[in-house]
Amino acid sequence: MKIAPFIQAIDRHNGAGGEQIDHVLVHTGQHYDDRMSASFFESLGIPAPDVNLEIGSGSHGVQLGQTMMAFEPVVVEHDPDWIVVVGDVNATLSCSVIAKRLKKKVAHIEAGLRSGDIGMPEEINRLVTDRLSDLLLTPDRISGENLAREGVPEERIRFVGNIMIDTLEKSREGAASGIVSEIIRANVIGGQPKKEISLADNTYGLMTMHRPSNVDHRPILTALMRFLMDEATQRLPLVWALHPRTRKQLQAFGLWDEVLSHPRLLLLEPIGYHAMLRLNMGAKIMLTDSGGLQEECCVLGTPCLTLRFNTERPITLREHGGASVLVGNDVEHIRRELDATLNLPNRPVSPEYWDGKTADRIVAAIMATTRQVVAA
């Protein structure tokens, strides 16, 4: 969702004449599930990667180390002027470290996001990547303020907006033509639903959950599932796009059969971007621990319960004008906010520069910085 608009912006830049940009697309393979990776490349029109490192699964240490080892010869071979990294995954950190080891300039898309929780692997990835980056491309004003407090020189920071929203705005019209019941039937797990589904817009809740803090501990996941099955689904049916990690844990903790058979909890295989966008557009409420979905809910106006105790995207919170509220995995808190949130209207909000033109600003910022470096 972040690479597609960036590549398309490069193509527009090259098509306009002037100094051309050659680029090499490297896919680390960290998101190794075919439904979550290959389908995204196809549906978003991303060209096949020039290089696939095929890192796959493993512990943080394994992914970090293997990505560094695999990425270094790629940098040596292609000798780029810039290495552009995105987000806060392990590959972002690994590629930034190798870039600086080989004395290459680094541009970080989505720089400056901070949750304040150093226990999150993603927070460590953000902090280290931003420390190493030569050009820090921020999605909102709050992120720029974070970097300034950390002592990053102003000339290295560029406020460009949220590149995720570029993809949303480009996809919105096409996604709107999808039919919710058809998406569910095409992706439902284990033969669910047993009878015909005809969920109308604004009558169902949408859910995702994959973070270790929510799914890796039996007491926490069990309490969440009891609440969802016994209480939340009595208010409205829930459509749950299931992450492979969560599915594995439900099976390991002996919850799978009960969850799968619940008549008002519809489990879906991992789905493509456009299908998920359509489900979000029609949802009465979102329950998620995904950072990207917090942002989409903000722009679409879907009231959102964020199943985390902190967020690196505070601009999406209601206190900053967004659609989301933090509820963590505390059932009492979730219960209170669910009841209150179901009464809220859909209220779309687009923060500054969340306008579908971020990728063009990113390309312009990189080119302007390149000229400054050459001139110096």
* Closest residue by Cα to residue 182 from 268, 270, 243: 268
Q: Confirm whether 210 is a catalytic residue.
A: yes
Report H helices in 79-210. Answer: 90-101, 121-132, 141-149, 163-176, 180-187
Angle of helix 60-78 relative to helix 90-101, nearest 10 degrees?
40
CA 330 to chain centre: 23
- Alpha-carbon span 258 to 255, nearest angstrom: 6
Could you tell me the two tokens for 284?
């009465």
- Alpha-carbon span 148 to 171, nearest angstrom: 34
SS3 content of the chain, % helix, strand, coil (to 5): 50, 10, 40
* Closest residue by Cα to residue 304 from 333, 267, 346: 346
Opening angle at CA 184, ends 183 and 188, nearest 5 = 125
Catalytic entry in 210, 243, 262, 274: 210
3-state SS, residue 157: strand
CA torsion sign, 225 to 231 to 236 to 237? positive
Could you tell me the two tokens for 96?
């930034």
Active site residues: 210
